[in-house]
Structure 1
């Protein structure tokens, strides 16, 4: 039996679950580091006398960096390895977070937020790929969805930590805390996170494959299949995503990521404010926004469990349609506070599950030689939607749109993405780069 077959069809051992747990912890750290600006925005704005536009730019800076990291850094993981990219990105993100704690003006902080985002973008793409590669075929959807749950956990716990630290130490302590925790993840990854087995197989590294197989109790390999390698150069890796055998699937995924990430960041960014506009108090608006993250903790894991029984694509389509239905009635429910909070928690559950479903679906579509390039590019396209949607919502509100109108539009986007995903086969083929790109 080949190593790849043993990983696909064998039991999930303690070692393999340990890899998934490390990836979950990385996503928790990323969730904190990404949203640290949201936790500290009001304090930073008050100290430096920032305008709303300046504060908005600071909030967007991290997302811009994540898009750059997903598009420009993550593809290198297909050439030098997933593990070195994660280690390097952790060092970059921790350094930028630590320097943010001593920044002297908004320009310095904004540039450091971009750098932090670049590191996080590289980590997210690579850790999701590793979680997918070390999970068995049956548990793959659950493992990647569980990995996505770490992001919501980090965001939720980060809000609690930020509230405590800002009250006693000020906003700089929040960045310092995040930088130290991110730095502590470096030795954890170095000691506990192995290199991707698929990457080693792609490179034909028999010695490292057998050393890693021995750690997992997998069969010793006398020889490996002919190494396919990765496309030469990052540019060739990008071109392979649009080669004839992958073009349709890649474009479907790009549309899906753009639409889902746009909807997700609209909901998470604007819900507290729009709930207040709909008649709730500021405290109730914040509580409603918090429930989105709480619901998200369970939504991704629940999707993963469903994916062990049903085709992941079909589960994701169902999540998208249910999310759209909930968004359509959400703002109209504010006359009943209890109902609004229940619907807020359910929206958080399903909208986070939609993101987790795309994260889980994508790695299995691409061959090992372009897998992180494929995931990273899709995430980068999604970040473009994430950056655009909150700003566009503000423009529409200034133009006279009501909160109900905006939620209906976003619901329509989720329905459109569900329709597009029906064009994707329930079990997408894993295609390899074409010979001329190899």
Structure 2
């Protein structure tokens, strides 16, 4: 039996759900790590007497590390395997969190935040792939939703923990607890997470056949199994960005609008998730209330991707995403102008969190549908890359504006206007739809490309597009 086909077409087993849960746990750890600086921002600023710009640098440091980690550790995962690189990335992540708790200056903290981000980037380069590979065709979308929701769960629990830890033990305890959690997750991954089946099929692992047999037994597959043939890499002429593929006359406008959408959506996401606790304190709330406001965003974010996916079952992906973007702009304003009534502010914060996370899920869904299969990976990769630039610039730009005298209300209003520009760019995108193929798993349709499924693409015939 072909192991790849067995995973794709057989009903999900408990072992497969365990793999998905472990990937969700890794994403939860990332959520905690990425937002640790946001939750401790006010306390760190007081201890080191930081300006808004200096705090902005600290908030961006982890994002810079994530970009470096994804670019440098991701290719190594294709050479040495997903599982070994996950373990290495977790070690880097845990060490960075532990050392962040020992710093004596904000410069040291910034360096260790970059180091921690490298580990996070390596984790992100592997986990979504593994979650997708171990889910069957019928449940792959649900599996990716569970994996995505892990980020919000980790960030929410991290925020709740920070609210208790900082008053009692100081901001350094937040990073120390993160390091201890990383050690626990490292032990679980070392014991329970299998290697990627598609990596084993490349023949690079010296014991690929034995590893595949172990995976088959844990899947409940009896008898001999065969690894899928490793597909040869076929390079589409002009497919790479430097060859003009995504910037060819046919796709130039499409790519520019997609990149603009990614940039703005990621800018809004990281503005809301990194600056909210500090700006709420600046608006007159207590530190505990500021952290609680950040928690409300992450709490809402846990359900945002699931809500987006549920709505696309009735309306087109593009239409739902545009609605999410417009509502995000409105709720950002409602959130910041209601800080004098904490109950209203926290309730609107949940909505903001749902919408900003739903927009991220929407971008991952719509991007593969913006190109034909031959250019899809290149188009999506460049879109995410440009979006990461927006993620890095958001904390820096807001810190600089805060130093020049902008108030939290002005900042939120300004970002709300910028977010609306994403709706304009999205409205100009043209969706490239391909027919869905029928598999043996209950007749459920699925894209033939696993990467598309991992990205959440819902390809449908063009006649159904009302977006």
Q: TM-score if structure 2 supplies the norm length?
A: 0.76
Would you say the 8 A contact 1:141–1:307 is kept in 2? Answer: no
Please tell me whether residue 136 in structure 1 is matched to residue 141 in structure 2.
no
Question: How has the CA–CA distance of structure 1 residues 14 and 315 changed in structure 2, closer, same or farther, with 3 Å as cutoff?
Answer: farther
Q: Which residue of 2 aligns with 1:382?
A: 387
- In the other structure, the counterpart of 1:228 is 232
Contact conserved, 2:152 with 2:302, CA < 8 A, in 1?
yes
- 1:119 is displaced (CA, Å) by 0.5
Report deviation, 1:29.
Answer: 1.2
Partner residue of 1:406?
A: 414
Distance in structure 1 (CA, Å) of the matches to 2:243 and 2:213: 33
**Aligned positions of 1:102-121 closer than 5 A:** 102-121=102-121
The within-5 A match list for 1:282-301 is 287-301=292-306
Q: Is the 8 A contact 1:65 1:116 kept in 2?
A: yes
Cα gap change, 1:290 to 1:185, in 2 (>3 Å):
closer
Counterpart secondary structure, 2:138: coil
Offset at 1:80? Answer: 2.2
- Indicate the residue corresponding to 2:47 in structure 1: 47
Structure 1 unpaired stretches of 5+: 433-438
Separation of aligned partners in 2, 1:46 and 1:93: 26
Deviations 1:231-253 (A, max 9, x none): 9xxxx9x9757778777598776
Counterparts of 1:300-311 in structure 2, within 5 Å, are 300-306=305-311
SS of alignment partner, residue 225 of structure 1: coil
Counterpart Cα distance in 2 of 1:423 and 1:362? 9
Matched residue of 1:228: which SS?
coil
Q: Distance in 2 between matches of 1:426 and 1:212?
A: 33
Are the structure 2 counterparts of residues 189 and 314 from structure 1 closer, same or farther at C-alpha, using a change threshold of 3 Å? farther
- Kept in 2: contact 1:292–1:344 (CA 8 A): yes
Q: What SS is found at the alignment partner of 2:201?
A: helix
Distance in 2, matches of 1:3 and 1:254, equals 37
Deviations 1:120-170 (A, max 9, x none): 011123112211222222322222222122111111111222232222322
Q: Please name the residue that 1:179 is paired with.
A: 179
Which structure has greater helix proportion?
A: 1
1:69, distance to aligned residue in structure 2 (A): 1.2
| Counterpart residue number, 1:436 | none
SS of structure 2 residue aligned to 1:71 = helix
Matched residues in 2 for 1:80 and 1:363: separation? 27
Displacement of 1:295 after TM fit? 0.8
Over 3 Å counting, the alpha-carbon distance change for 1:32 and 1:146 in structure 2 is: same
Q: 1:285 to 1:87 in 2, by over 3 A?
A: closer
On the 8 A contact 1:328/1:411 being kept in 2, the answer is: no
Asked whether the equivalents of residues 69 and 119 of structure 2 are also in contact (C-alpha less than 8 Å), the reply is yes
> d(CA) in 1 for partners of 2:450 and 2:140?
18
Kindly provide the CA deviation profile for residues 188-240 of structure 1, in whole angstroms up to 9, marking residues without a partner as x. 11121111222223448761434423321347445743542699xxxx9x975
Is contact 1:132-1:363 (8 Å) kept?
no
| Structure 1 residue 179: Cα displacement | 1.1
Equivalent-residue separation in structure 1 for 2:257 and 2:5 (angstroms): 28
1:17-61 deviation digits (Å, cap 9, x = unpaired)? 111110111111111112222222333333333344333322221
2:444 paired residue number: none
Matched, 1:423 2:428: no
- Point out where structure 2 has 5 or more consecutive residues left out of the alignment: 436-446, 452-467
Q: Which residue of 2 aligns with 1:86?
A: 86
Q: Indicate the residue corresponding to 2:464 in structure 1.
A: none
Aligned residues: 425
- Report if the CA contact (8 A) 2:246-2:379 is conserved: no
How far 1:431 moved relative to its partner? 9.8
Q: Secondary structure at the match of 1:65?
A: helix
The offset of 1:97, in angstroms, is 1.4
CA distance in 2 between partners of 1:78 and 1:315 (Å): 35
Partner of residue 435, structure 1: none
CA gap of 1:188–1:223, structure 2 versus 1, over 3 A, is: closer
Aligned equivalent of 1:355, options 354, 360, 363: 360
Q: Secondary structure at the match of 1:145?
A: helix
Distance 1:304 1:192 in 2: 29
Q: CA RMSD in A?
A: 4.1
Partner-residue secondary structure (3-state), 1:425: coil
Question: Which shows bigger deviation, 15-24 or 376-385?
Answer: 376-385
TM (norm. structure 1) is 0.80
